């Protein structure tokens, strides 16, 4: 006991111990437990939010892959429709050009036959008048009046 007295420990140690126990119970009840509960809640929310964020990121990547696949499929479908439409348009164009050429050819043939007919008619008309004109030219050249 002399050692305790030499260290300055006396009868007040019991009172200090009781004050410590009361302070410990008081602080544990009013400070440490609420703080520990708030800390655990924060950790739970943080870990829960991290898991939620990771899940959302994974879902967004899956949706991105799905979107890319659908976009490629739609692009291919659009290309097929475009190619089909272009092929149909080219067929229609070729058909219309062919018809226009055929009509132009018919018009040219009709015009040629009409011109040929007119030329032949004019030649036959002129060949009928050639003897009279020749006679008139000869008489003029000879100085005779008709």
With 80 as the cut, is the pLDDT of residue 2 above it? no
126 vs 115, higher pLDDT: 115
Q: The pTM is what?
A: 0.43
Split at pLDDT 50, 70, 90, the class of 94 is very high
With 0-12 / 13-18 / 19 or more C-beta atoms within 10 angstroms meaning exposed / middle / buried, residue 11 is exposed
The torsion angles phi and psi of 2, rounded to 5 degrees, stand at -65, -30
> Residue 25's pLDDT is what?
95
> 3-state class of 45 per DSSP?
helix
- 43-52 long-range contacts, Cβ below 8 Å, gap at least 24? none
Q: Which of these ranges, 34-43, 54-63, 124-133, has the smallest mean pLDDT?
A: 124-133
Split at pLDDT 50, 70, 90, the class of 71 is very high
> 3-state class of 94 per DSSP?
helix
With 60 as the cut, is the pLDDT of residue 134 above it? yes
> Residue 141's pLDDT is what?
83
**Mean pLDDT value across residues 6-31:** 89
3 vs 56, higher pLDDT: 56
């Amino acid at each position: 006991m002399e050692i305790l007295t030499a260290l300055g420990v006396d009868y007040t140690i019991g009172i200090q111990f009781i004050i410590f126990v009361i302070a410990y119970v008081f602080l544990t009840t009013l400070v440490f437990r609420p703080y520990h509960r708030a800390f655990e809640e924060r950790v739970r929310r943080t870990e829960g939010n991290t898991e939620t964020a990771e899940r959302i990121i994974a879902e967004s990547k899956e949706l991105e892959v799905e979107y890319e696949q659908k976009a490629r499929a739609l692009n291919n479908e659009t290309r097929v429709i475009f190619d089909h439409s272009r092929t149909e348009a080219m067929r229609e164009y070729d058909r219309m050009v062919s018809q226009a050429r055929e009509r132009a050819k018919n018009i040219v043939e009709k015009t040629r036959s009409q011109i040929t007919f007119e030329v032949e008619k004019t030649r036959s008309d002129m060949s009928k008048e050639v003897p009279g004109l020749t006679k008139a030219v000869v008489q003029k050249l000879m100085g005779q009046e008709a």
